[in-house]
Amino acid sequence: MPMELTQSRIQKIWLPNDNRPALPRRSCGPQLANSPTVIVMVGLPARGKTYISKKLTRYLNWIGVPTKVFNVGEYRREAVKHYSSYDFFRPDNEEAMKVRRQCAMAALRDVKLYLTEEGGQIAVFDATNTTRERRGMILNFAKENGFKVFFIESVCNDPNVVATNVMEVKLSSPDYRDCNSTDAMEDFMKRINCYQASYQPLDPDDYDRELSLIKVIDVGRRFLVNRVQDHIQSRIVYYLMNIHVQPRTIYLCRHGESEFNLKGRIGGDSGLSNRGKKFAEALNKFVEEQNLKDLKIWTSQLKRTIQTAEALQLPYEQWKALNEIDAGVCEEMTYEEIRDQHPEEFALRDQDKYYYRYPSGESYQDLVQRLEPVIMELERQENVLVICHQAVMRCLLAYFLDKSADEMPYLKCPLHTVLKLTPVAYGCRVESISLNIEAVNTHRDRPENMNNSQKPS
Protein backbone atom coordinates (compact mmCIF):
# COMPACT_ATOMS: atom_id res chain seq x y z
CA MET A 1 0.00 0.00 0.00
CA PRO A 2 1.43 3.45 -0.91
CA MET A 3 2.88 5.31 2.07
CA GLU A 4 1.15 8.51 3.18
CA LEU A 5 3.36 11.60 2.81
CA THR A 6 3.27 15.05 4.34
CA GLN A 7 4.90 18.12 2.81
CA SER A 8 7.16 20.05 5.17
CA ARG A 9 5.98 23.63 5.52
CA ILE A 10 9.43 25.25 5.44
CA GLN A 11 11.35 23.24 2.83
CA LYS A 12 8.35 22.08 0.73
CA ILE A 13 9.73 18.53 0.54
CA TRP A 14 7.72 15.32 1.01
CA LEU A 15 8.29 13.31 4.19
CA PRO A 16 6.85 10.00 5.48
CA ASN A 17 3.69 10.58 7.52
CA ASP A 18 4.77 8.68 10.63
CA ASN A 19 6.50 9.21 13.94
CA ARG A 20 10.06 8.65 12.79
CA PRO A 21 12.47 11.36 13.97
CA ALA A 22 13.26 14.11 11.49
CA LEU A 23 16.57 13.97 9.61
CA PRO A 24 19.37 16.15 10.99
CA ARG A 25 19.08 19.58 9.36
CA ARG A 26 22.57 19.59 7.84
CA SER A 27 21.96 16.20 6.26
CA CYS A 28 20.24 18.10 3.47
CA GLY A 29 23.48 18.57 1.56
CA PRO A 30 25.22 15.95 -0.59
CA GLN A 31 25.02 12.58 1.13
CA LEU A 32 27.95 10.30 1.84
CA ALA A 33 27.32 6.70 0.88
CA ASN A 34 27.10 4.60 4.04
CA SER A 35 29.91 5.77 6.35
CA PRO A 36 31.64 8.99 7.45
CA THR A 37 35.04 9.83 5.98
CA VAL A 38 38.38 10.74 7.56
CA ILE A 39 40.55 12.85 5.25
CA VAL A 40 44.19 12.29 6.18
CA MET A 41 46.69 14.94 5.19
CA VAL A 42 50.23 13.78 4.31
CA GLY A 43 53.40 15.75 3.66
CA LEU A 44 56.44 17.50 5.03
CA PRO A 45 55.97 20.75 7.00
CA ALA A 46 55.33 23.95 4.96
CA ARG A 47 53.74 22.08 2.04
CA GLY A 48 50.33 23.74 2.37
CA LYS A 49 48.54 20.93 4.24
CA THR A 50 46.75 23.28 6.64
CA TYR A 51 45.90 25.63 3.76
CA ILE A 52 44.29 22.73 1.88
CA SER A 53 42.57 21.45 5.07
CA LYS A 54 40.98 24.79 5.91
CA LYS A 55 39.98 25.64 2.34
CA LEU A 56 38.50 22.21 1.66
CA THR A 57 36.60 22.29 4.97
CA ARG A 58 35.19 25.71 4.10
CA TYR A 59 33.95 24.38 0.75
CA LEU A 60 32.43 21.19 2.18
CA ASN A 61 30.59 23.04 4.93
CA TRP A 62 29.31 25.55 2.36
CA ILE A 63 27.78 22.82 0.18
CA GLY A 64 26.14 21.29 3.26
CA VAL A 65 28.53 18.52 4.34
CA PRO A 66 29.40 18.98 8.06
CA THR A 67 33.21 18.98 8.16
CA LYS A 68 35.80 19.87 10.80
CA VAL A 69 39.61 20.11 10.87
CA PHE A 70 41.57 18.39 13.62
CA ASN A 71 45.05 19.94 13.59
CA VAL A 72 47.48 17.81 15.58
CA GLY A 73 49.87 20.75 15.90
CA GLU A 74 47.25 22.54 18.03
CA TYR A 75 46.99 19.50 20.30
CA ARG A 76 50.78 19.49 20.62
CA ARG A 77 50.85 23.20 21.53
CA GLU A 78 48.21 22.53 24.17
CA ALA A 79 50.23 19.64 25.63
CA VAL A 80 53.62 21.41 25.44
CA LYS A 81 52.99 25.01 26.40
CA HIS A 82 56.46 26.29 25.53
CA TYR A 83 58.17 25.33 22.26
CA SER A 84 61.97 25.43 22.63
CA SER A 85 63.47 24.28 19.32
CA TYR A 86 63.48 21.77 16.49
CA ASP A 87 64.97 19.23 18.92
CA PHE A 88 61.39 18.35 19.88
CA PHE A 89 60.90 16.87 16.39
CA ARG A 90 64.07 14.82 16.22
CA PRO A 91 63.25 11.14 15.60
CA ASP A 92 65.66 10.10 18.38
CA ASN A 93 63.89 12.28 20.97
CA GLU A 94 61.94 9.43 22.59
CA GLU A 95 60.15 11.54 25.19
CA ALA A 96 58.92 13.99 22.55
CA MET A 97 57.90 11.14 20.23
CA LYS A 98 55.73 9.78 23.04
CA VAL A 99 54.05 13.19 23.51
CA ARG A 100 53.48 13.54 19.75
CA ARG A 101 51.85 10.10 19.57
CA GLN A 102 49.60 10.95 22.53
CA CYS A 103 48.54 14.14 20.76
CA ALA A 104 47.69 12.22 17.59
CA MET A 105 45.62 9.73 19.62
CA ALA A 106 43.81 12.58 21.40
CA ALA A 107 42.94 14.12 18.04
CA LEU A 108 41.66 10.77 16.75
CA ARG A 109 39.45 10.38 19.84
CA ASP A 110 37.91 13.76 19.01
CA VAL A 111 37.52 12.68 15.36
CA LYS A 112 35.54 9.65 16.53
CA LEU A 113 33.36 11.79 18.79
CA TYR A 114 32.67 14.25 15.98
CA LEU A 115 31.74 11.59 13.41
CA THR A 116 29.70 9.35 15.71
CA GLU A 117 27.99 11.69 18.18
CA GLU A 118 28.16 15.28 16.92
CA GLY A 119 26.66 14.93 13.44
CA GLY A 120 29.90 15.27 11.49
CA GLN A 121 30.25 13.64 8.10
CA ILE A 122 33.90 14.42 7.30
CA ALA A 123 36.86 14.92 9.64
CA VAL A 124 40.14 16.31 8.30
CA PHE A 125 43.12 14.91 10.22
CA ASP A 126 45.72 17.61 9.65
CA ALA A 127 49.24 16.41 10.49
CA THR A 128 52.40 15.37 8.66
CA ASN A 129 51.56 11.61 8.75
CA THR A 130 54.82 11.03 6.88
CA THR A 131 55.44 7.41 7.94
CA ARG A 132 53.66 4.22 6.97
CA GLU A 133 53.50 3.31 10.64
CA ARG A 134 51.50 6.46 11.49
CA ARG A 135 49.22 6.04 8.46
CA GLY A 136 48.72 2.38 9.39
CA MET A 137 47.60 3.43 12.86
CA ILE A 138 45.03 5.80 11.34
CA LEU A 139 43.80 3.12 8.93
CA ASN A 140 43.30 0.70 11.85
CA PHE A 141 41.44 3.38 13.78
CA ALA A 142 39.16 4.00 10.79
CA LYS A 143 38.54 0.27 10.24
CA GLU A 144 37.61 -0.25 13.91
CA ASN A 145 35.05 2.55 13.70
CA GLY A 146 33.69 1.89 10.20
CA PHE A 147 35.05 5.14 8.68
CA LYS A 148 36.23 5.58 5.12
CA VAL A 149 39.70 7.08 4.62
CA PHE A 150 40.89 9.44 1.88
CA PHE A 151 44.53 10.60 1.81
CA ILE A 152 45.64 13.98 0.46
CA GLU A 153 49.41 14.26 0.04
CA SER A 154 50.96 17.62 -0.79
CA VAL A 155 54.35 17.24 -2.47
CA CYS A 156 56.52 20.25 -3.24
CA ASN A 157 60.25 20.24 -3.95
CA ASP A 158 60.53 23.86 -5.10
CA PRO A 159 62.67 25.58 -2.41
CA ASN A 160 61.26 29.01 -3.32
CA VAL A 161 57.67 27.88 -2.72
CA VAL A 162 58.62 26.25 0.58
CA ALA A 163 60.55 29.33 1.74
CA THR A 164 57.63 31.61 0.83
CA ASN A 165 55.22 29.40 2.76
CA VAL A 166 57.49 29.42 5.81
CA MET A 167 57.81 33.23 5.69
CA GLU A 168 54.09 33.90 5.14
CA VAL A 169 52.61 31.37 7.54
CA LYS A 170 54.99 29.48 9.79
CA LEU A 171 56.93 32.42 11.23
CA SER A 172 53.68 33.85 12.60
CA SER A 173 52.99 30.55 14.40
CA PRO A 174 52.70 30.64 18.21
CA ASP A 175 55.86 28.48 18.24
CA TYR A 176 57.89 31.53 17.19
CA ARG A 177 56.06 34.28 19.05
CA ASP A 178 59.18 35.57 20.80
CA CYS A 179 61.69 34.77 18.08
CA ASN A 180 63.23 36.94 15.34
CA SER A 181 62.50 35.88 11.76
CA THR A 182 66.06 34.76 10.93
CA ASP A 183 66.30 32.40 13.92
CA ALA A 184 62.75 31.18 13.35
CA MET A 185 63.45 30.41 9.70
CA GLU A 186 66.62 28.50 10.60
CA ASP A 187 64.82 26.49 13.28
CA PHE A 188 61.89 25.63 11.03
CA MET A 189 64.11 24.44 8.19
CA LYS A 190 65.85 22.13 10.69
CA ARG A 191 62.41 20.92 11.77
CA ILE A 192 61.66 19.99 8.15
CA ASN A 193 64.93 18.03 8.02
CA CYS A 194 63.82 16.02 11.07
CA TYR A 195 60.83 14.77 9.09
CA GLN A 196 62.73 14.40 5.81
CA ALA A 197 64.88 11.56 7.12
CA SER A 198 61.92 9.25 7.84
CA TYR A 199 59.47 10.52 5.17
CA GLN A 200 57.78 7.71 3.25
CA PRO A 201 55.65 9.25 0.46
CA LEU A 202 52.43 7.55 -0.58
CA ASP A 203 53.12 4.86 -3.18
CA PRO A 204 49.98 4.31 -5.29
CA ASP A 205 51.81 1.99 -7.69
CA ASP A 206 52.79 -0.58 -5.11
CA TYR A 207 52.60 -0.33 -1.31
CA ASP A 208 49.55 1.99 -1.19
CA ARG A 209 47.79 0.76 -4.32
CA GLU A 210 44.64 -0.18 -2.35
CA LEU A 211 44.29 3.26 -0.73
CA SER A 212 42.02 6.10 -1.87
CA LEU A 213 44.24 9.12 -2.36
CA ILE A 214 45.24 12.19 -4.32
CA LYS A 215 48.79 13.52 -4.58
CA VAL A 216 48.89 17.28 -5.19
CA ILE A 217 52.26 17.98 -6.79
CA ASP A 218 53.97 21.39 -6.86
CA VAL A 219 50.92 23.40 -5.76
CA GLY A 220 48.60 21.94 -8.38
CA ARG A 221 50.95 21.63 -11.35
CA ARG A 222 50.20 17.91 -11.46
CA PHE A 223 47.85 15.47 -9.72
CA LEU A 224 47.86 11.73 -9.15
CA VAL A 225 44.54 10.16 -8.14
CA ASN A 226 44.03 6.58 -6.96
CA ARG A 227 40.87 4.56 -6.14
CA VAL A 228 38.25 7.27 -5.57
CA GLN A 229 35.51 5.47 -3.62
CA ASP A 230 32.40 7.62 -3.83
CA HIS A 231 30.66 10.78 -4.93
CA ILE A 232 32.00 13.00 -2.16
CA GLN A 233 35.60 11.92 -2.77
CA SER A 234 35.20 12.72 -6.46
CA ARG A 235 33.93 16.19 -5.51
CA ILE A 236 36.92 16.68 -3.23
CA VAL A 237 39.27 15.72 -6.08
CA TYR A 238 37.46 18.08 -8.48
CA TYR A 239 37.68 20.93 -5.99
CA LEU A 240 41.40 20.41 -5.31
CA MET A 241 42.08 20.40 -9.05
CA ASN A 242 40.42 23.81 -9.42
CA ILE A 243 42.03 25.87 -6.65
CA HIS A 244 45.24 27.86 -7.04
CA VAL A 245 47.42 30.13 -4.89
CA GLN A 246 48.18 32.92 -7.36
CA PRO A 247 47.55 36.47 -6.01
CA ARG A 248 44.21 37.83 -7.21
CA THR A 249 41.26 40.00 -6.22
CA ILE A 250 37.56 39.20 -6.40
CA TYR A 251 35.07 42.06 -6.46
CA LEU A 252 31.43 41.45 -5.56
CA CYS A 253 28.67 43.98 -5.99
CA ARG A 254 24.96 44.11 -6.64
CA HIS A 255 23.40 45.73 -9.67
CA GLY A 256 22.54 49.41 -9.46
CA GLU A 257 19.31 50.29 -7.68
CA SER A 258 16.35 49.04 -9.74
CA GLU A 259 12.82 50.35 -10.30
CA PHE A 260 11.50 47.42 -8.27
CA ASN A 261 13.91 48.29 -5.42
CA LEU A 262 12.31 51.71 -5.27
CA LYS A 263 8.81 50.18 -5.14
CA GLY A 264 9.79 47.57 -2.56
CA ARG A 265 9.05 44.68 -4.91
CA ILE A 266 11.16 41.53 -4.79
CA GLY A 267 12.47 39.56 -7.76
CA GLY A 268 11.21 40.42 -11.23
CA ASP A 269 13.28 41.78 -14.09
CA SER A 270 13.03 45.56 -13.87
CA GLY A 271 15.60 48.02 -15.17
CA LEU A 272 17.78 50.49 -13.29
CA SER A 273 16.47 53.58 -11.54
CA ASN A 274 18.14 56.94 -12.20
CA ARG A 275 20.33 56.42 -9.12
CA GLY A 276 21.09 52.89 -10.30
CA LYS A 277 22.37 54.33 -13.60
CA LYS A 278 24.57 56.77 -11.67
CA PHE A 279 26.02 53.82 -9.73
CA ALA A 280 26.83 52.04 -12.99
CA GLU A 281 28.79 55.12 -14.12
CA ALA A 282 30.55 55.31 -10.73
CA LEU A 283 31.40 51.60 -10.98
CA ASN A 284 32.98 52.25 -14.38
CA LYS A 285 35.23 54.90 -12.84
CA PHE A 286 36.06 52.61 -9.89
CA VAL A 287 37.07 49.74 -12.18
CA GLU A 288 39.31 52.07 -14.22
CA GLU A 289 41.03 53.27 -11.01
CA GLN A 290 41.76 49.70 -9.92
CA ASN A 291 43.87 49.30 -13.08
CA LEU A 292 43.47 45.54 -13.15
CA LYS A 293 45.02 43.35 -15.79
CA ASP A 294 42.68 40.93 -17.58
CA LEU A 295 39.65 41.66 -15.38
CA LYS A 296 36.78 39.23 -15.99
CA ILE A 297 33.25 40.59 -15.51
CA TRP A 298 30.30 38.30 -14.79
CA THR A 299 26.62 39.18 -14.55
CA SER A 300 23.34 37.35 -14.17
CA GLN A 301 20.91 37.15 -17.10
CA LEU A 302 18.61 39.75 -15.55
CA LYS A 303 18.24 43.23 -17.00
CA ARG A 304 19.48 45.20 -14.00
CA THR A 305 22.89 43.48 -13.81
CA ILE A 306 23.38 43.68 -17.59
CA GLN A 307 22.57 47.41 -17.62
CA THR A 308 25.10 47.89 -14.83
CA ALA A 309 27.79 45.98 -16.75
CA GLU A 310 27.09 47.82 -20.01
CA ALA A 311 28.29 51.06 -18.41
CA LEU A 312 31.75 49.55 -17.91
CA GLN A 313 32.35 49.32 -21.68
CA LEU A 314 34.20 46.04 -21.17
CA PRO A 315 33.40 42.47 -22.24
CA TYR A 316 31.24 40.57 -19.76
CA GLU A 317 29.82 37.08 -19.42
CA GLN A 318 26.22 36.31 -18.44
CA TRP A 319 25.55 33.44 -16.00
CA LYS A 320 22.03 32.11 -15.47
CA ALA A 321 23.36 30.62 -12.24
CA LEU A 322 23.84 34.19 -10.93
CA ASN A 323 20.13 35.09 -11.28
CA GLU A 324 18.46 36.21 -8.05
CA ILE A 325 16.74 33.69 -5.77
CA ASP A 326 13.40 32.63 -7.29
CA ALA A 327 10.61 33.85 -5.01
CA GLY A 328 8.06 31.64 -6.75
CA VAL A 329 4.48 32.77 -6.11
CA CYS A 330 5.88 35.84 -4.30
CA GLU A 331 7.80 37.18 -7.33
CA GLU A 332 7.23 40.91 -7.98
CA MET A 333 5.23 41.36 -4.76
CA THR A 334 5.90 43.89 -2.01
CA TYR A 335 6.58 42.71 1.51
CA GLU A 336 3.18 43.99 2.60
CA GLU A 337 1.46 42.03 -0.18
CA ILE A 338 3.29 38.83 0.85
CA ARG A 339 2.28 39.35 4.49
CA ASP A 340 -1.37 39.95 3.54
CA GLN A 341 -1.76 37.28 0.84
CA HIS A 342 0.59 34.58 2.20
CA PRO A 343 0.76 35.20 5.98
CA GLU A 344 1.90 31.65 6.81
CA GLU A 345 4.71 31.74 4.24
CA PHE A 346 5.75 35.15 5.50
CA ALA A 347 6.09 33.78 9.05
CA LEU A 348 7.75 30.51 8.00
CA ARG A 349 10.58 32.27 6.18
CA ASP A 350 11.50 34.16 9.33
CA GLN A 351 11.65 30.89 11.26
CA ASP A 352 14.38 29.37 9.09
CA LYS A 353 15.53 31.63 6.30
CA TYR A 354 18.26 29.31 4.96
CA TYR A 355 16.05 26.25 4.47
CA TYR A 356 12.77 28.05 3.71
CA ARG A 357 11.68 27.46 0.10
CA TYR A 358 9.20 29.82 -1.57
CA PRO A 359 6.19 27.94 -3.00
CA SER A 360 7.21 27.10 -6.61
CA GLY A 361 10.50 28.90 -5.90
CA GLU A 362 13.87 28.46 -4.21
CA SER A 363 15.57 28.48 -0.82
CA TYR A 364 19.04 29.73 0.09
CA GLN A 365 20.02 26.06 0.23
CA ASP A 366 18.88 25.65 -3.39
CA LEU A 367 20.83 28.77 -4.30
CA VAL A 368 24.07 27.37 -2.85
CA GLN A 369 23.71 24.25 -5.02
CA ARG A 370 23.03 26.43 -8.07
CA LEU A 371 26.08 28.60 -7.35
CA GLU A 372 28.60 25.78 -6.90
CA PRO A 373 29.79 25.95 -10.57
CA VAL A 374 30.28 29.71 -10.10
CA ILE A 375 32.49 29.09 -7.05
CA MET A 376 34.50 26.47 -8.94
CA GLU A 377 35.14 28.87 -11.80
CA LEU A 378 35.94 31.73 -9.40
CA GLU A 379 38.58 29.50 -7.83
CA ARG A 380 40.14 28.91 -11.25
CA GLN A 381 40.21 32.58 -12.25
CA GLU A 382 42.38 35.50 -11.23
CA ASN A 383 40.77 39.00 -11.10
CA VAL A 384 36.96 38.87 -11.38
CA LEU A 385 34.12 41.36 -10.85
CA VAL A 386 30.77 39.67 -10.16
CA ILE A 387 27.70 41.90 -10.60
CA CYS A 388 24.82 40.03 -9.02
CA HIS A 389 21.93 40.21 -6.54
CA GLN A 390 21.45 40.36 -2.77
CA ALA A 391 20.76 36.67 -1.98
CA VAL A 392 23.33 35.51 -4.55
CA MET A 393 25.98 37.84 -3.14
CA ARG A 394 25.25 36.59 0.37
CA CYS A 395 25.86 32.99 -0.73
CA LEU A 396 29.13 33.86 -2.49
CA LEU A 397 30.30 35.96 0.45
CA ALA A 398 29.47 33.15 2.91
CA TYR A 399 31.78 30.83 0.98
CA PHE A 400 34.75 33.21 0.99
CA LEU A 401 34.28 34.36 4.60
CA ASP A 402 33.42 30.90 5.99
CA LYS A 403 29.99 31.91 7.28
CA SER A 404 27.48 29.32 8.46
CA ALA A 405 24.13 28.54 6.86
CA ASP A 406 22.49 30.29 9.80
CA GLU A 407 24.48 33.52 9.22
CA MET A 408 24.34 33.50 5.40
CA PRO A 409 20.82 34.94 4.81
CA TYR A 410 21.56 37.94 7.05
CA LEU A 411 24.93 39.06 5.64
CA LYS A 412 24.91 42.76 4.75
CA CYS A 413 25.28 43.37 1.02
CA PRO A 414 24.08 46.95 0.44
CA LEU A 415 23.34 48.46 -2.94
CA HIS A 416 26.00 50.71 -4.51
CA THR A 417 28.81 49.12 -2.48
CA VAL A 418 31.70 47.00 -3.79
CA LEU A 419 33.18 44.26 -1.61
CA LYS A 420 36.85 43.68 -2.43
CA LEU A 421 37.98 40.16 -1.45
CA THR A 422 41.67 39.33 -1.26
CA PRO A 423 42.56 35.70 -0.48
CA VAL A 424 45.23 35.44 2.24
CA ALA A 425 47.01 32.45 3.85
CA TYR A 426 44.14 30.78 5.68
CA GLY A 427 41.18 32.94 4.73
CA CYS A 428 40.05 36.05 2.92
CA ARG A 429 40.44 39.76 3.65
CA VAL A 430 37.34 41.84 2.85
CA GLU A 431 37.15 45.59 2.21
CA SER A 432 33.80 47.37 1.81
CA ILE A 433 33.90 50.31 -0.62
CA SER A 434 30.87 52.58 -0.92
CA LEU A 435 30.66 54.45 -4.24
CA ASN A 436 28.67 57.23 -2.54
CA ILE A 437 25.49 57.01 -4.63
CA GLU A 438 22.32 56.97 -2.51
CA ALA A 439 20.08 53.92 -2.70
CA VAL A 440 17.24 52.29 -0.81
CA ASN A 441 18.18 49.95 2.03
CA THR A 442 16.97 46.42 1.23
CA HIS A 443 18.63 44.72 4.23
CA ARG A 444 16.58 43.25 7.01
CA ASP A 445 18.12 42.10 10.28
CA ARG A 446 17.26 38.78 11.86
CA PRO A 447 13.88 39.21 13.57
CA GLU A 448 14.07 39.23 17.36
CA ASN A 449 10.38 38.46 17.76
CA MET A 450 9.03 36.11 15.11
CA ASN A 451 5.46 37.31 15.64
CA ASN A 452 6.33 40.93 14.92
CA SER A 453 8.45 40.40 11.81
CA GLN A 454 8.04 43.12 9.21
CA LYS A 455 9.40 41.93 5.88
CA PRO A 456 11.55 39.22 4.30
CA SER A 457 14.41 40.08 1.97
| Catalytic one of 257, 324, 362, 372 | 324
Contact 357, 363 (CB under 8 A): yes
| Catalytic one of 103, 126, 350, 389 | 126
d(CA 325, CA 113): 37
Residue 28 catalytic?
A: no
The span from the first CA to the last CA of the chain, in angstroms, equals 43
d(CA 369, CA 366): 5
pTM: 0.93
Helix (H) or strand (E) holding 379: helix 364-380
Q: List the one residue out of 435, 391, 401, 431 whose CA is nearest residue 417.
A: 435
pLDDT of residue 32: 52
pLDDT in tens, 178-216: 899 999 999 999 999 999 989 999 999 999 999 999 999
Cβ contacts of 273 within 8 Å, gap of 6 or more: 256, 257, 258, 259, 261, 262
d(CA 122, CA 27): 12
Q: List the one residue out of 303, 340, 341 whose CA is nearest residue 323.
A: 303
| Catalytic one of 175, 255, 257, 389 | 255
Helix (H) or strand (E) holding 187: helix 181-196
Contact 200, 151 (CB under 8 A): no
d(CA 62, CA 29): 9
259: left (phi over 0), alpha (psi -120 to 50) or beta: alpha
Q: List the one residue out of 418, 444, 415 whose CA is nearest residue 430.
A: 418
Contact 47, 151 (CB under 8 A): no
Residue 126 catalytic?
A: yes
pLDDT 10s per residue in the chain (457 long)? Answer: 667 898 899 998 888 876 555 554 544 455 555 689 999 999 999 999 999 999 999 999 999 999 999 999 999 999 998 999 999 999 999 999 999 999 999 999 999 999 999 999 999 999 999 999 999 999 999 999 999 999 999 999 999 999 988 988 888 889 998 899 999 999 999 999 999 989 999 999 999 999 999 999 999 999 999 999 999 999 999 999 999 988 899 999 999 999 999 999 999 999 999 999 999 999 999 999 999 989 999 999 999 999 999 999 999 999 999 999 999 999 999 999 999 999 999 999 999 999 999 999 999 999 999 999 999 999 999 999 999 999 999 999 999 999 999 999 999 999 999 999 999 888 899 999 999 999 999 998 898 865 444 444 4
Residue 388 catalytic?
A: no
Please give the backbone phi and psi of residue 252, each rounded to the nearest 5 degrees, phi first: -120, 135
pLDDT of residue 35: 85
DSSP 272: B
| Catalytic one of 103, 156, 388, 395 | 156
Contact 268, 241 (CB under 8 A): no
pLDDT in tens, 134-160: 999 999 999 999 999 999 999 999 999
